[in-house]
Structure 1
Amino acid sequence: MLTDDELTRYARHIVLREIGGAGQMKLRGSRVAVVGAGGIGVPVLQYLAAAGVGALTVVDDDVVSASNLQRQVLYTTGDVGSPKALLAARRLFDLNPFATVTPVVQRIEAASADTLLAGHDVVVDGTDSFATRLTVADTAWRLHIPLVSAAIGQFHGQVGTFTGWLADAPCYRCYVGDAFDADDCDTCAEDGVLGAMTGMVGSMAALEAIRAIVPFGEPATGKLHIIDGLTPSMRTIRMPKDPGCSTCGA
């Protein structure tokens, strides 16, 4: 049962017919892994902790730099040089002490991915390299965990939910193939990124993670939401399963 304090904290969720008390209990009993505690990961973590997700795992080996502060609003000037995962765990406890946050200060790699992600109900990936994204995606597929993948560049963002182990649903590789980061690949440091766009994309990724735990509205799996901050506009495309996919193809 939800405590009186929780009933007060989550009152605006509970009055939603699509969430209600039962949905809030599902959130409290859920475990979500967030890979990357940067521009996308920060709003994901903040909104999932505030929403009442019972257990969050934060995987990030990076430390705060001054250039992060323009968009990673969980951190402050005095945090420069400190590990993001540890700081995030501390700040999220201040935000919602009912949420258990486990920081993992290491880079997720193929050898460790199964151990780090097993047992979670949803994985949210906000990292900035295809090598890491593909490792996370392949692991989520293998463990049958819904993957919410979010990416951003300059004024544009993308958010998609992938459940490729299902017969009619694509996995992340159905979308990007065997992508890789070329030596001349553009980076955020070179091209720039609008700070508010990371907040928009991260918030939408949090929304899709909650949808995966407490289904509401239309199913999101197999859809890619493309956000254009210049226009501004958003469009949604459906992604087919690729029969030749190296992960989930026949």
Structure 2
Amino acid sequence: MNDDQLLRYSRQIMLPDFGVEAQQRLNDAHVLIIGAGGLGSPAALYLAAAGVGRLTIADPDRVDVSNLQRQILHGQRDLDRPKVDSARERLADINPDTRVVPIAERLEDAALQAAVAAADLVVDASDNFATRFAVNAACWQAGRALVSGAAIRYEGQLSVFRGDLAAGPCYQCLYRDGTEAEQTCAENGILAPIVGIIGSLQALEAIKVLTGLGEPLDGRLLILDGRSLELRTLKLHPDPDCPVCSGTRVQTPAHPAGTG
């Protein structure tokens, strides 16, 4: 790192158990963010500000006026622009050292597998079960950690699934066959700070996994109730019959977080 970077990240570098080594890990890291909406916006902003060296952002949508209430990557002047274009511009203003790679399409099948395999970690900020299941399977297949978030109305959820360690449950262990009713912000509404909180926490968990800092939310589900500001954490258990992870899961992590 040069002197300007050392100054930019000085407030992180001075933290106990962080230091220059952890900062260098962030600078060298490549994170794939699925979705540049309510969750992806704060996640991308904080990961770029923290110094993640490369962010690939995939989102097929254009900015709509209804997005501006919560999707803080985008502004009034970005209406009808591809979200990934306004995201790249905004993130370059936050931190020009972060390389932003936009993908203005829905990642599926081989393209999704290739994008996941090329990254060190994946942040799932999508808004539907089909995408979440596909991203989860691609992460487990490629051996990549997945930071998964969701938010609706006044509630939010967050978890970390360790495909990089082939340990613990995966996303499909939690939701089984995806028969739960699909819920969208367009149909149910969303309070803007809820996605801000969950997306920021996704950035925090990504940083923890990438640097080996603290205890990531592996195998646990954080549930936020914004109306009462209550936080609950539930222990998740692997599904022995899970079609994604049951055949390859190990019981003990193969190496410490952040060293892969």
Whether TM-score is above 0.5 comes out as: yes
CA contact (8 A) 1:124 1:209 kept: yes
- Aligned partner of 2:39 in structure 1 is 40
Task: Return closer, same or farther for 1:229/1:25 CA change in 2, 3 Å cut-off.
Answer: same
SS of corresponding position for 1:246: coil
Aligned counterparts of 2:135 and 2:98: Cα–Cα separation in 1: 23
Cα deviation digits, residues 214-250 of structure 1 (max 9, x gap):
1222242111111110111111111111101111114
- Aligned partner of 1:105 in structure 2 is 104
- Aligned partner of 1:121 in structure 2 is 120
Q: Is the aligned partner of 1:226 residue 2:226? A: no
SS of corresponding position for 1:8: helix
Aligned counterparts of 1:45 and 1:165: Cα–Cα separation in 2: 21
CA contact (8 A) 2:152 2:183 kept: no
Deviation at 1:168, TM superposition (A): 4.1
User: What is the one-letter code of the residue matched to 2:221?
Assistant: L
CA contact (8 A) 2:205 2:216 kept: no
Deviation at 1:65, TM superposition (A): 0.3
Mean CA deviation greater in 208-217 or 36-45: 208-217
Aligned counterparts of 1:242 and 1:165: Cα–Cα separation in 2: 18
SS of corresponding position for 1:118: helix
Aligned counterparts of 1:191 and 1:209: Cα–Cα separation in 2: 28
Task: Return closer, same or farther for 1:205/1:77 CA change in 2, 3 Å cut-off.
Answer: same
Matched positions, count = 247
TM-score where L is the length of structure 2: 0.92
Cα deviation digits, residues 81-106 of structure 1 (max 9, x gap):
00001110111011101100000000
CA contact (8 A) 1:165 1:171 kept: no
CA contact (8 A) 1:129 1:181 kept: no
Deviation at 1:64, TM superposition (A): 0.4
Aligned counterparts of 2:184 and 2:176: Cα–Cα separation in 1: 20
TM-score where L is the length of structure 1: 0.95
Q: Is the aligned partner of 1:214 residue 2:193? A: no
- Aligned partner of 1:242 in structure 2 is 239
CA contact (8 A) 1:130 1:180 kept: no
Consecutive unaligned residues in structure 2, runs of 5 or more: 248-260
CA contact (8 A) 1:165 1:248 kept: no
Of all paired residues, the percent bearing the same amino acid is 44
Aligned counterparts of 1:220 and 1:201: Cα–Cα separation in 2: 13
Aligned counterparts of 2:57 and 2:164: Cα–Cα separation in 1: 25
Mean CA deviation greater in 160-169 or 147-156: 160-169
- Alignment RMSD (CA, Å): 1.3
Q: Which runs of 4+ in 1 moved over 3 A?
A: 164-168
Consecutive unaligned residues in structure 1, runs of 5 or more: none
